[in-house]
Structure 1
Amino acid sequence: MENPKKDSKKINDLEQNYKNQENTTLTTNQGVKINDTNNSLKAGERGSTLLEDFLLREKITSFDHERIPERIVHARGSAAHGVFELYESIEQYSKAGIFTDVNRKTPVFVRFSTVAGSKGSTDLARDVRGFAVKFYTEEGTWDLVGNNMPIFFIQDAMKFPDLVHSVKPEPNKEIPQAASAHDTFYDFVSRTTETLHNQIWLMSDRAIPRSFRMMEGFGIHTFRLINDKGESHFVKFHWKPKLGVHSVTWDEAVKISGADSDFHRRDLWDAIEAGHYPEWELGIQIVPQEDEFKFDFDLLDPTKLIPEEMVPVKIIGKMTLNRNPENFFAETEQVAFLPGHIVPGIDFTNDPLLQGRLFSYRDTQLSRLGGPNFHQIPINRPIAPANNNQRDGMMQMDIVKGQTAYFPNSLGGGCPHLAKIAEGAFDSYEERIDAKKIRTRSESFNDHFSQPALFYRSLSQYEQEHVAEAYTFELGKCMHSEIQERMLWLIAQIDEDLANKVAKGLGLEVPKSIEQPINQAIGADADIQKQQPPKKKIYLDKAPTLSQANTKFDSIATRQVAVLVAKGFSMKNFKKMTDVLEQEGAVIKLIAPHGGKVICDENMEHKVDAAIMTTESVLFDALYIPGGKKAVESLKKESKFIKFINETFKHCKAIAVDNEGEDLINESFVKDYKDDKAVFINKTPEDFVKAMAKHRNWDRRTIVKNIPV
């Protein structure tokens, strides 16, 4: 295998070839030279994006039509139907019926997804997760298109094709699939410092959730809420899972991908089929119009979040998913989410990423779903009546009657007629714009280090260790040392200790200086090449809400408990434990040496959920061994049961055993750690439940690193 680190001559030759090529200046498809491909054309630095921006339209249109029919991003997804219920009216902020009528049950369709991989990739990739909600409201369809992370990689939609091209498989060899651990991605990240905030979230446990049901969702952008007086408030949308926010370890993610690449998809489906309906509460962060500029960051910058410690999240409603799709293609694949789908009472801001998404998403659906009539596909149809003068086109499924298809008209009696604002017509917020037409970005977008540093400072010790391990793994896959060194320098600007840990794992030193990335907010013709200042702002020492260590730990509902059994297992112990676990909502799975049925010591038959050779410990949240002398002797003969125990312990999960089950424990590494606070030998089921609710015993990490499995 070639190693570019050692083969420096080859790299130099390639670079020289590129330099010698003629016409290397960036151009449009028509050969027009371009001096800025980082910023869209706006009405002022913080103004709205202009429709006349032909450079933006050409770049994004080409990008949107690169793949047919699979989604370019978010290709692998899973979805479900449900309802949204409002707890209390927020009519002081919004006139939207969904936010004012507490008697409504608004139908929703929610699609979760990974971003980078294809439809056939694994569920457990280290990746951002899509979290898109379609509200079928009485006033029209509202799509809240977000992710499980509150920020995005880039600030301007002009950079979106570059971001996705960098993270997708490298075009010369189509490697790697569903992974960001490669040179092109980190080459882009290390030269585009606005990506660093979302990047460190990607290195955290947030990127490998335990399930879709146990991850947060965010609208990402700052939107507006408009009340019936025409008053505006800025808003950020949050989805808070009732089960808390939990993740798997990277070692588990790697093994789950091999054991069950459909782990998240199956988990969501099975939970709904079993009646364990996933629930999230909808929260909002409200910022009055007059407070737009009171923060040390810009509300319109999609790479920034508003810490909940500065603006608390107000919980206003609950979403419950209670029905699986009946046809995966017709619903999950054909559903079209568009950020431009809003209803009266909700409006956009001049966030330059959001502005670009308003164009891009609709454009993408035109090629993916066959034409402009994709809204007529059943899963996309609004429940509000749709009447307009749009006719014909590919995939037209309605037979629209009448002589007229224009406005105004008299032959059709003036119908469909215009609605008045007072009758619920949509009206855009009247925002004064007085600015020069300019292709740049606001100076208020320039701080790229303060929020990544805040995020890292706010994590618990075990979460920080996971971040360091993730960076080490990801950058260790990069073959170009200059990319690794650029990243190490940038990580050091976030946190020096973090950079030193990663550097040690890579066998490198953190460089004292690098050729700093040029600020992306300016074009090539700028008189002064402004460098990104490394100095960080500290407007909060820590934001505890950013750490999963502060999530909910009060439930074991839907947690999967593996019970190791064989012929002759103790029914008395089994029933005592499982009665309590099932009462708390846990799911019991019997793992035996074989499939079919297994007989307990009371001569009762029990259905085996999985033979030991067909399953893995990483698919479960906890382990229980009910004992029974004959059963334990059988289990000891199968080495994979010992591996199962060792692996459960290594991944810091709760383990409970009764009576002779201890003999099986004594065959494993756990025999030396029976005093562990999440290992229970002949203890009460209630003790086991409390430990399971804590998700993991992370204190165990210091002693399990060297345990082989």
Structure 2
Amino acid sequence: MADHNGSNGNKLNQGGSTRIGSESPVGNGSKGPGATDDGATHINPILTTNQGRPIGDNQNSVTAGRRGPITLDDFQLFEKMAQFNRERTPERVVHAKGSGAHGNFVVTHDITKYTKAAIFSKIGNTCPVFARFSTVGGEKGSADTARDPRGFAVKFYTEEGNWDMVGNNTPTFFIRDAIKFGDFIHTQKREPGSNLKSATMMWDFWSLSPESLHQVTILMSDRGIPDGYRHMHGYSSHTFSLINDAGELHYCKWHFRCNQGIKNLMNAEADTLAGTDPDYSQRDLLHAIDQKDFPSWTVQIQVMKESEIDNFKYDPFDLTKVWPHGEYPLIDVGVMTLDRKPSNYHAEVEQAAFNPSNIVPGMGYSPDKMLQGRLLSYPDAHRYRIGTNYDLLPINARKNNGYTYNRDGLMRFDGNGGDLPNYEPNSFGGPKEDPKYIERPYSTATTEKVGRYDHREENDDYTQAGNLWRLFDDGEKDRTAETISKSLGQTPLRIQKLQLSHFKKADPDYAARVAKALNNNEHPEYLHADDAATVPAGARLHEK
């Protein structure tokens, strides 16, 4: 296909300048403690202060006599302590524990009928990528093997700017409206009084939010704990849009299909690893790259015509539901391979900032309420956590030429635009807009009034969860019920009963197996209470 640049393919791959990430400040002769020691003599450059002043003694403070107090002129001590006190950036509120790797993406199939994005303009086009995988609810020091969704974020450094695919390892989520995101995440964190994790908070929210049932079923099933980051799929989860040269819009969902094969951990193995190797997924990813067993994913899309959305059987932008593959089959796009470890975790993984609003020409958004909320909240979180100029850091910076009037702010380190105008319009040759890049509008319901609509009206929160349950064999059904019961069984009986009513609406067998598992579990504070015998009857609750 024709190259939109009118040149010989993706410019980012010419001249061998695709390497992204920090380099050793002291050259190839210095190695980190994590590197393989080949026995070669290490080069030891002269130690300096932050400003380059050579240091003669890094072992002893300046004191008034051998046993005297430290003096205020020990600039070196105060610089070291001040830097140490400020080493930690605020932890991510979600996705705090994560791992990352560099790699590349190559286009293997023609999708120019759907998008005019330059990266997809020709089979064989490539671009560098950086991927970050993570757990969701845990803190930075938590175990990699928690029963938790996994974050799956990829930054594509394309010739038209950075495209961030910010998704999870599941195609759905617990809620469909961003206004409930903070409430939901609070239930996955710590109870404000005791500072302990609380099954009651989780199930209280889920039982009062039946739209969560599909994702809860995925989470509690055998699919709930991936065996490391290399053995899981990735999904945009949200619906985005693609626009072609003719201005035609198709809605799409992105899929990253794992080429290593799907593997998951059972409860006992995950619990053992949490105690013996809490960094299991991080270690597995880095070890595979060291062994040149580079993990890869086949990139695919589902597409829906713009004209189909009004007649679809449910809201196609509902994040709690999937598009059936039988109706919207997967279409091959390319392959992503990860083949290089970060040189420095803080610079490249901790400071990596992914933003779903980062797209390129030929792509667009959708009316997905959760996506709309993330378009606002993600860059806002990055500005708080890393700083106003987070997108100038090497791991986040665009690799193509770009021009903006944005100026100043803390830690601006790129020249700040020099003496060029910082306003527009101007008559001094400053950058100007190009109408050919105006976003293609998408259709919404224009006959309805602006207001707050109940997202549960005319919504079916049970069919897809029930369909997933019926896909499980008897063994997985029993294991899922047992996993649910161990957590749900810690909650008050009123919450158990309400949640069982949701399971029943998805499938009576679902509720019956969970109720049976609850009755068999050991939870003295609830199941040994006077009314514990009523728990199995929850499977026969009347429909509400």
Q: Is the TM-score greater than 0.5?
A: yes
**What code does the residue aligned with 1:246 have?**
K
Measured in 1, the distance between the counterparts of 2:306 and 2:241 equals 9
Q: Which residue of 2 aligns with 1:268?
A: 285
**What code does the residue aligned with 1:86 have?**
V
When residues 491 and 235 of structure 1 are mapped into structure 2, their CA distance, relative to the original with a 3 A threshold, is same
Q: Which residue of 2 aligns with 1:428?
A: 440
Q: Where does 1:205-284 land on structure 2 (aligned, <5 Å)? A: 205-284=222-301
**What code does the residue aligned with 2:402 have?**
A
Measured in 2, the distance between the counterparts of 1:389 and 1:510 equals 65
Shift of 1:463: 2.3
**What code does the residue aligned with 1:142 have?**
W
Q: Which residue of 1 aligns with 2:140?
A: 119
Question: Does residue 390 of structure 1 match 2:406?
Answer: yes
SS of alignment partner, residue 112 of structure 1: strand
Tell me which of the two structures has the higher relative contact order, counting C-alpha pairs closer than 8 angstroms and 6 or more residues apart.
2
Does structure 1 retain, via aligned residues, the 8 Å contact 2:516–2:536? yes
Q: Which residue of 1 aligns with 2:536?
A: 509
Shift of 1:506: 1.6
**What code does the residue aligned with 2:433 have?**
L
**What code does the residue aligned with 1:439 have?**
R
Render the CA deviation track for 1:455-513: whole Å, top value 9, x for unaligned: 111123332222112111111232x1211121122112122222222212222224277
| Deviation >6 Å, runs of 4+ | none
SS of alignment partner, residue 312 of structure 1: coil
Q: Where does 1:29-44 land on structure 2 (aligned, <5 Å)? A: none
**What code does the residue aligned with 2:409 have?**
G
Measured in 2, the distance between the counterparts of 1:293 and 1:419 equals 32
Measured in 2, the distance between the counterparts of 1:330 and 1:443 equals 43
Q: Where does 1:15-54 land on structure 2 (aligned, <5 Å)? A: none
Q: Which residue of 2 aligns with 1:37?
A: none
SS of alignment partner, residue 130 of structure 2: strand
2:112 to 68, 91, 101: 91
SS of alignment partner, residue 146 of structure 1: strand
Please report the TM-score for the alignment, with normalisation by the length of structure 2: 0.78
Q: Where does 1:541-580 land on structure 2 (aligned, <5 Å)? A: none
User: CA RMSD, aligned part only?
Assistant: 1.8
SS of alignment partner, residue 205 of structure 1: coil
Measured in 2, the distance between the counterparts of 1:329 and 1:432 equals 42
Q: Which residue of 1 aligns with 2:473?
A: 460
SS of alignment partner, residue 229 of structure 1: coil
Q: Where does 1:123-162 land on structure 2 (aligned, <5 Å)? A: 123-162=144-183
Render the CA deviation track for 1:378-417: whole Å, top value 9, x for unaligned: 100011112111110112112121241111101x22x112
Q: Which residue of 2 aligns with 1:483?
A: 495
Question: Does residue 374 of structure 1 match 2:390?
Answer: yes
Measured in 2, the distance between the counterparts of 1:339 and 1:235 equals 14
Does structure 2 retain, via aligned residues, the 8 Å contact 1:489–1:511? yes
Does structure 1 retain, via aligned residues, the 8 Å contact 2:150–2:169? yes
Measured in 1, the distance between the counterparts of 2:174 and 2:112 equals 33
SS of alignment partner, residue 233 of structure 1: strand
1:79 to 87, 93, 100: 100
Does structure 2 retain, via aligned residues, the 8 Å contact 1:301–1:445? no
Measured in 2, the distance between the counterparts of 1:245 and 1:356 equals 31
1:472 to 485, 497, 501: 485
SS of alignment partner, residue 331 of structure 1: helix
Render the CA deviation track for 1:624-659: whole Å, top value 9, x for unaligned: xxxxxxxxxxxxxxxxxxxxxxxxxxxxxxxxxxxx
Does structure 1 retain, via aligned residues, the 8 Å contact 2:176–2:320? yes
SS of alignment partner, residue 538 of structure 2: coil
Measured in 2, the distance between the counterparts of 1:502 and 1:316 equals 41
Render the CA deviation track for 1:394-442: whole Å, top value 9, x for unaligned: 12112121241111101x22x1122241xxx352335366231111145
More divergent stretch after superposition (426-435 vs 329-338): 426-435
Measured in 1, the distance between the counterparts of 2:405 and 2:439 equals 20
Does structure 1 retain, via aligned residues, the 8 Å contact 2:478–2:513? no
Measured in 2, the distance between the counterparts of 1:79 and 1:311 equals 31
Measured in 1, the distance between the counterparts of 2:339 and 2:450 equals 49
Shift of 1:134: 0.5
**What code does the residue aligned with 1:175 have?**
L
SS of alignment partner, residue 401 of structure 1: coil
Does structure 2 retain, via aligned residues, the 8 Å contact 1:331–1:379? yes
Does structure 2 retain, via aligned residues, the 8 Å contact 1:488–1:510? no
Percent identity reads 41
Does structure 1 retain, via aligned residues, the 8 Å contact 2:184–2:205? yes
Does structure 1 retain, via aligned residues, the 8 Å contact 2:515–2:538? no
Shift of 1:314: 1.1
SS of alignment partner, residue 509 of structure 1: helix
SS of alignment partner, residue 378 of structure 1: coil
When residues 299 and 432 of structure 1 are mapped into structure 2, their CA distance, relative to the original with a 3 A threshold, is closer
Number of positions where the alignment pairs a residue of Structure 1 with one of Structure 2? 440
Shift of 1:309: 2.3
Shift of 1:444: 6.9
SS of alignment partner, residue 266 of structure 1: helix
Could you tell me which runs of 5 or more consecutive residues in structure 1 were left unpaired when the two chains were aligned: 1-66, 517-532, 535-709
Question: Does residue 418 of structure 1 match 2:455?
Answer: no
SS of alignment partner, residue 498 of structure 2: helix
Measured in 2, the distance between the counterparts of 1:505 and 1:433 equals 46
When residues 160 and 451 of structure 1 are mapped into structure 2, their CA distance, relative to the original with a 3 A threshold, is same
SS of alignment partner, residue 194 of structure 1: helix
SS of alignment partner, residue 212 of structure 1: coil
**What code does the residue aligned with 1:502 have?**
V
Render the CA deviation track for 1:7-48: whole Å, top value 9, x for unaligned: xxxxxxxxxxxxxxxxxxxxxxxxxxxxxxxxxxxxxxxxxx
Shift of 1:80: 0.3
Does structure 2 retain, via aligned residues, the 8 Å contact 1:374–1:395? no
